[in-house]
């Protein structure tokens, strides 16, 4: 019999969601249109034409959802504010939009749930996309104004603030691969978007810090476990260096080391816009952070394709309408592994989370005295509800248990990990997959909008309540 794994005192147990994925009420109280509204209404972009118009109707059911969190022993709730609700045209403030987040915050505090706010989880006001979107430098400044407006309304009650969720997805899925909103497919523009997202983070950090030095500030990045197909093969090792460079180091190095990784800039030589980085940008981007949010789901095993085939491969992908998100590394091959997969087709690689947290602490956050939080981890599976809507989701439960064991192992190896947020509290709008993929520990019946905790929720409530893994 194995001994229960105890987590450190004060470890923060929570769950996470995002505005566009759960709120609905897309036209209520003056909310403006956002890029996901536009993208999801574009034929062929989102599974079955699903949109976030109604989603989980959290906008009207937030009180019920907060009670659910309390019943599940959750100590913290990570949610995002919708920029288009707060600033419908990306610039002027909509009081009614802020009031919703004020009501939500009060409800959380009343039920003893610590609010953890993300300012940007992908729903850029359409008006700002129409003015160029993230490839335009001005949007970074608009983001700092938005951060100030949200802080003005909620700063007295919220301690934890993260600027961006997964800028990698915003930049490379949104502007290079076109698989996320706004659906553009231009490599240099994706790089511009990435830099301006980081700049927006730095500017917002500065605003928030100057308004209140006591806030706990940071950003959430997504990381992948990247391994070479044959560690003895120099081509495969170089492929792993490239994908690790673009997926993992491209964002963390400017944030915590003050510069883009030299080898990655080298890989990007042909596409990197020369006038992109201005004097002072990297000082802003590397402003001190109190915490780093880590989102982790899976990883890839990669192999090098001979360079002479590289351009051919990139052209072929483009001709098929599938340009790659891996700008500058179009010739890397991905080798499926014979391991369990989730319903997303993502490989289950819990050990990668231990390695990642230990590496981040050793190479980046430890030296910077920045705490680590897992701000997302979880899985989609094909749920089968019984007549009462209950789901015995042993697969999701096992996924979470294995990843929590991996977090525990990282802590035992010395990594400073202070909390874990399960993605997601509710089944919700899973971006290009619409409502077809379910990540919730609580089932949502999309006909009745009824919520029913799954077996994984009951299990997770036990973990959160006892601060240990059974």
Out of 14, 15, 18, 331, the residue judged to bind ligand PNW by CB under 6 A? 18
Compute the least distance from the CB of residue 439 to ligand PNW, in Å. 6
Catalytic residue check, 166:
yes
Please report whether residue 253 would count as binding ligand PNW according to CB under 6 A.
Answer: no
Compute the least distance from the CB of residue 416 to ligand PNW, in Å. 22
Compute the least distance from the CB of residue 169 to ligand PNW, in Å. 5
Give the closest residue to 294 by CA, choosing from 372, 242, 404, 394: 372
Residue 297 marked ligand-binding: yes
Site for ligand PNW in 82-121 (CB under 6 A): none
Closer to ligand PNW by Cβ: residue 105 or 377: 377
Closer to ligand PNW by Cβ: residue 286 or 342: 342
Out of 129, 236, 244, 376, the residue judged to bind ligand PNW by CB under 6 A? 376
Tell me the CA distances in angstroms from 287 to 135, 208, 259, one per residue in order: 22, 11, 12
Gyration radius of the chain's alpha carbons: 21
How far is residue 316 CA from its own chain's centroid?
A: 30
Closer to ligand PNW by Cβ: residue 18 or 277: 18
Please report whether residue 427 would count as binding ligand PNW according to CB under 6 A.
Answer: no
- Binding part of the chain for ligand PNW, among 165-173, 189-197, 315-323, 387-395 by CB under 6 A, reads 165-173
Stretch 168-207: interaction string toward ligand PNW, x if CB under 6 A: -x--------------------------------------
- Binding part of the chain for ligand PNW, among 61-69, 95-103, 162-170, 183-191 by CB under 6 A, reads 162-170
- Binding part of the chain for ligand PNW, among 111-119, 164-172, 231-239, 276-284 by CB under 6 A, reads 164-172
Q: Which of 148, 166, 253, 347 is catalytic?
A: 166
Q: Which residues contact 462 (CB under 8 A, 6 or more apart)?
A: 73, 470
Please report whether residue 222 would count as binding ligand PNW according to CB under 6 A.
Answer: yes
Compute the least distance from the CB of residue 222 to ligand PNW, in Å. 5
Site for ligand PNW in 259-298 (CB under 6 A): 295
Stretch 439-458: interaction string toward ligand PNW, x if CB under 6 A: x-------------------
Closer to ligand PNW by Cβ: residue 192 or 437: 437
Closer to ligand PNW by Cβ: residue 376 or 383: 376
Compute the least distance from the CB of residue 298 to ligand PNW, in Å. 7
Closer to ligand PNW by Cβ: residue 126 or 165: 165
Out of 77, 83, 120, 423, the residue judged to bind ligand PNW by CB under 6 A? 423
Q: Checking phi first, is residue 431 left (phi over 0); if not, alpha (psi -120 to 50) or beta?
A: left
Cα separation, 84 vs 390, whole angstroms: 35
Compute the least distance from the CB of residue 213 to ligand PNW, in Å. 29
Compute the least distance from the CB of residue 443 to ligand PNW, in Å. 16
Compute the least distance from the CB of residue 349 to ligand PNW, in Å. 13
Token pair of 420, please? 């874990």
Size of the site for ligand PNW (CB under 6 A): 11
Give 145: exposed, middle or buried? Use CB within 10 Å, 0-12, 13-18, 19+.
Answer: middle
Token pair of 366, please? 């430890």
Please report whether residue 123 would count as binding ligand PNW according to CB under 6 A.
Answer: no
Give yes or no for a contact between 383 and 457, defined as CB atoms under 8 angstroms apart: no
Residue 165 marked ligand-binding: yes
Closer to ligand PNW by Cβ: residue 84 or 284: 84
Closer to ligand PNW by Cβ: residue 166 or 236: 166
Residue 21 marked ligand-binding: yes
Residue 36 marked ligand-binding: no
Cα separation, 427 vs 445, whole angstroms: 9
Known binding-site residue numbers: 21, 121, 165, 297, 423, 430-431
Known binding-site residue numbers for substrate: 21, 121, 165, 297, 423, 430-431
Q: Which residues here bind ligand PNW, judged by CB under 6 A?
A: 18, 21, 165-166, 169, 222, 295, 376, 423, 430, 439
- Residues with catalytic annotation? 166, 376
């Amino acid at each position: 019999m194995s001994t229960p794994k105890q987590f450190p005192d004060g470890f923060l147990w929570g769950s996470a969601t995002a505005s566009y994925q759960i709120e609905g009420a897309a036209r209520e109280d003056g909310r403006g249109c956002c890029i996901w509204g536009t993208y999801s209404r574009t034929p062929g972009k989102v599974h079955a034409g699903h949109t976030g118009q109604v989603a989980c109707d959290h906008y009207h059911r937030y009180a019920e959802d907060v009670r659910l969190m309390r019943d599940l022993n959750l100590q913290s709730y990570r949610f995002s504010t919708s920029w288009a609700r707060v600033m419908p045209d990306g610039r002027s403030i909509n009081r009614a939009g802020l009031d919703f987040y004020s009501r939500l915050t009060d409800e959380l505090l009343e039920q003893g749930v610590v609010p953890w706010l993300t300012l940007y989880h992908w729903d850029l006001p359409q008006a700002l996309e129409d003015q160029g979107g993230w490839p335009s430098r001005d949007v970074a400044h608009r983001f700092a104004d938005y951060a100030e407006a949200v802080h003005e309304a909620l700063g007295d009650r919220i301690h934890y603030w993260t600027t961006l969720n997964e800028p990698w997805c915003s930049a490379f899925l949104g502007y290079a691969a076109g698989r996320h909103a706004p659906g553009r497919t231009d490599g240099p523009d994706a790089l511009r978007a990435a830099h301006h997202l980081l700049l927006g983070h730095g500017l917002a950090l500065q605003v928030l810090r100057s308004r209140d030095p006591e806030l706990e500030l940071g950003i959430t990045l997504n990381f992948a476990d990247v391994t070479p197909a044959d560690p003895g093969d120099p081509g495969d090792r170089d492929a792993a260096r490239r994908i690790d460079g673009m997926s993992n180091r491209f964002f963390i190095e400017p944030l915590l080391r003050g510069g883009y990784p030299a080898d990655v800039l080298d890989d990007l030589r042909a596409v990197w816009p020369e006038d992109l980085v201005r004097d002072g940008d990297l000082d802003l981007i590397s402003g001190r952070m109190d915490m780093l949010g880590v989102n982790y789901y899976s990883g890839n095993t990669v192999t090098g394709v001979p360079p002479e085939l590289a351009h051919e491969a990139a052209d072929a992908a483009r001709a098929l309408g599938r340009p790659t998100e891996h700008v500058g590394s179009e010739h890397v091959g991905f080798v499926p592994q014979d391991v369990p997969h989730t319903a997303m087709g993502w490989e289950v690689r819990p050990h990668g989370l231990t390695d990642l947290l230990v590496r981040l602490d050793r190479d980046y956050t430890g030296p910077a005295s920045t705490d680590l939080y897992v701000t997302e981890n979880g899985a989609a599976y094909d749920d089968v509800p019984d007549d009462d809507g209950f789901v015995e989701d042993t697969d999701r439960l096992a996924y979470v248990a294995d990843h929590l064991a991996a977090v525990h192992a990282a802590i035992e190896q010395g990594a400073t990990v202070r909390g874990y947020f399960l993605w997601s509290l509710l089944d919700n709008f899973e971006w290009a997959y619409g409502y077809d993929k379910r990540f919730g520990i609580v089932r949502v019946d999309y006909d009745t909008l009824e919520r029913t905790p799954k077996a994984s929720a009951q299990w997770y409530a036990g973990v959160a309540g006892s601060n240990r893994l059974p």
